[in-house]
């Protein structure tokens, strides 16, 4: 059976990162640092032997993927199924603001974030059901190495699904994915995928710049 190495990457820093505002479907722009993150990803991609590049339709992922596409000569294929989880009433808010607006809903989300989404938000299982086929299609179309530029919450849910872990554990097993850091899973054969690396960053695999700490 063909084996595909999926390189899962969160987009670069956005204008909402500093306040740790929940950015789901909102089209939030990259900061200057976020654009620098995209260039760092391109430096890695240039020599990575990629077979394909996929990204979500939101501008922050497309802007992150574009330099890598230019560096490799590949097209960045936009797949609508890779859009971020819908955070419902939590969209654009900080954790503190949610605690004021809907404390019980926030508490339920923090206890079981996939099963109990934020009020009006998308359950984790629904997000996986729409996005996992995008990865499966990519593995069939491009056995080899595929770069997937998407979003922190969606990628953590997909990682749990790929590795056979409970979706409600995504925040504890994967507390944070750093901007443009590479998390690599190998898909193919029987059983769950294999985790090859987590949060590898920079062309040489080490963080090139110090980052602010944020967690959703």
119 DSSP assignment: T
168 DSSP assignment: G
41 closest CA partner among 16, 4, 8, 17: 8
Please provide residue 186's backbone torsions phi and psi, each rounded to the nearest 5 degrees: -105, 125
Which residue is catalytic, options 5, 13, 40, 84? 84
Task: Reply yes or no on whether 151 is catalytic.
Answer: no
**What DSSP element (H or E) covers 145?**
strand 145-150
Task: Reply yes or no on whether 17 is catalytic.
Answer: no
Number of Cβ within a 10 Å radius of residue 150: 28
Which residue is catalytic, options 11, 17, 37, 151? 11
Exposure of 211 in the CB half-sphere (CA atoms within 13 A): 24
- Asked whether the beta carbons of 68 and 42 are under 8 A apart, the reply is yes
Largest CA distance in the chain: 52
Positions marked active-site: 11, 84
């Amino acid at each position: 059976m063909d084996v595909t190495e999926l390189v899962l990457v969160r987009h670069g820093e956005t204008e909402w990162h500093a306040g740790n505002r929940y950015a789901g479907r909102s089209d939030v722009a990259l900061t200057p640092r976020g654009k620098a993150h995209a260039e760092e990803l391109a430096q890695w991609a240039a020599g990575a032997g990629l077979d394909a590049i996929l990204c979500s339709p939101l501008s922050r992922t497309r802007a992150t993927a574009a330099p890598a596409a230019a560096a490799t000569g590949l097209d960045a294929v936009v797949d609508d199924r890779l859009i971020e989880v819908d955070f419902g009433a939590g969209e654009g808010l900080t954790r503190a603001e949610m605690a004021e607006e809907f404390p019980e809903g926030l508490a339920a989300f923090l206890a079981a974030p996939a099963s109990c989404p934020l009020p009006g938000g998308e359950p984790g299982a629904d997000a996986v059901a729409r996005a996992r086929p995008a990865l499966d299609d990519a593995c069939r179309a491009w056995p080899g190495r595929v770069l997937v530029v998407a979003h922190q919450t969606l990628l953590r849910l997909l990682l749990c699904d790929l590795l056979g872990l409970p979706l409600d554990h995504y925040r504890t097993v994967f507390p944070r994915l750093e901007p443009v850091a590479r998390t690599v899973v190998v898909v193919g054969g029987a059983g769950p995928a294999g985790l090859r690396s987590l949060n590898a960053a920079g062309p040489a695999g080490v963080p090139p710049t110090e980052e602010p700490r944020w967690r959703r």
